[in-house]
Homo-oligomer: A and B are copies of this chain.
C-alpha cells in the first residue's frame, strides 16, 4: 500500500480507464493494471468494477478514494512544506 498506488487509483477513477490513466502518469498500461490489482488484493476489496469501456469505482472504492486523495494531498504538502517555514 503505497502513495504511488494511491495516485494510480485516483488517476483511474478520474480518467475512467486504466489506459488513459497510464498515459496520464506516463507509465506502461499493464504496469498500472497490475498495481491496481495489487492494491485490491492487499486490501481484500474490489475498488473498481470492470466494464467493457473501462473501470468505474465501486461503493467501497469511492470511500477509499476519498481518503487516498487526502493522503496524496498531504504528501504533496509535506514535500513542499519547507518552502514556507
Q: Which residues of A contact B (CB under 8 A)?
A: 1-4, 6, 43, 45, 59-60, 62-64, 66-68, 70-75, 77-79, 81-82, 84-85
What residues of chain B lie closer than 8 Å to A85, measured between beta carbons?
A: 59-60, 62-63
Main secondary structure of the interface of A (DSSP, over half): helix
**Given A70-B74, A74-B70, A63–B84 Cβ distance below 8 Å?**
yes
Query: Are the C-beta atoms of A79 and B3 separated by less than 8 Å?
Result: no
| Nearest chain B CB to A62 CB, angstrom units | 7
**Are A82 and B43 within 8 A (Cβ)?**
yes
Whether the Cβ atoms of A71 and B68 lie closer than 8 Å is no
Whether the Cβ atoms of A63 and B75 lie closer than 8 Å is no
